[in-house]
Amino acid sequence: MAEKDPKKSDFAELEERILKFWEKNKIFEQTLKKPSPKGEFIFYEGPPTANGRPGIHHLVARAFKDTIPRYKTMQGYHVLRRAGWDTHGLPVELEVEKELEFSSKKDIEKYGIARFNKKCKESVLKYLKDWNAFTRRIGFWVDQENPYFTFDPGFMESVWWVVKQAAEKDLLYKDYRVVPWCPRCGTALSTHELGQPGAYVDVKDLSVYVKFKIKDEDAFVLAWTTTPWTLPGNVALAVGSEIDYVKIKTDSGDLILAKERLSVIKGEYEIIAEMKGRDLIGLSYEPLYPFIKENLSGKEKEKLANAYKIYPAPLIKG
């Protein structure tokens, strides 16, 4: 009797015996050949990107991907499971950029698109042995002998064929939407790509305090914004109806602001009035850029009849 390997648990040894039994008797292959009275159960696996080694999150996902096809097979379905590799996208390109020590899209263009694509193809095949060993060890039943690669012309042509069928059935439409954009890569980003390590970094975001002059009064409403580039298009100010506001006298004029924000005032000041936000609703103020309103046509000015006023805004507690 062979001695027990002290580095392995009883469970690990049991798993390896079962894996050897499956391989020796081709159990997975037999599940594909057995009678399937209920027909086909179509299973499309979201293929992993093989330019990096597998991680624990791949194990979790593949546990679900393995359980459902096995269950449907036992129910009497034929479940074809073909392995595949996602060879497109930023993860592949970023890996190659690190290898070549590139810092921008210009470096790629200087290096040559064709040469860069060739390096990407080589990169995506780099860890195939690791992935195949990982797949076998976790007992994930999938056909690794006949995998597909998304960079194969045949695969890409099949995708375009599907798009063509949808277009011919009038199932496609063109529209606009706002998407995240990477200025370094010069491309739009998917939700998945935003989740990549390093997709977000902490930066110091500048903000400004702006004085809006109350119409026919020698006083200003003090507002704060992190988007100063939107100020030319400003047409309204918002206040919290139940928030306490104050009017203060300063060297730069009378200012109206929330009482709790008095700490932003530098230098001496004197509180000359207190009010609720609801007391400010309806007040008109002068546009920051009056020449914009002056250059509007008659109809355009009519649309701004209720602009440049103070309106209530609900208090959002988070």
What residue ranges of the chain are covered by domains with CATH 3.40.50.620? 10-194
Query: Percent of the chain beyond pLDDT 90?
Result: 53
Length of the chain measured in residues: 318
pLDDT at 186: 83
DSSP string, the chain: -PPPPTTS-HHHHHHHHHHHHHHHHTHHHHHHHS--TT-B------PPPTTS---HHHHHHHHHHHHHHHHHHHTT-B---EEEE---SHHHHHHHHHHHT--SHHHHHHH-HHHHHHHHHHHHTTTHHHHHHHHHHTT---EEEEEEETTSHHHHHHHHHHHHHHHHTT----------EETTTTEE--HHHHTSTTS----PPP-EEEEEEBTTSSEEEEEEES-GGGGGG--EEEE-TTSEEEEEEETTEEEEEEGGGGGG--S--EEEEEEEGGGTTT-BB--SSHHHHHTS-HHHHHHTTT-SEEEE-PPPP-
Position 4 pLDDT exceeds 60: no
Residue 194: the pLDDT is 74
pLDDT tens-digit readout, 174-185 = 888 888 888 888
- pTM beyond 0.85, yes or no: no
* Level-2 CATH architecture, domain 208-312: Alpha-Beta Complex (3.90)
Q: Domain 10-194 has what CATH class?
A: alpha beta
Stretch(es) of the chain classified as CATH 3.90.740.10:
208-312
pLDDT digits (tens, 9 = 90+) for 183-240: 888 888 877 777 666 556 677 778 899 999 999 999 999 999 988 888 988 989 999 9
Instruction: Note the pLDDT of residue 1.
Output: 45
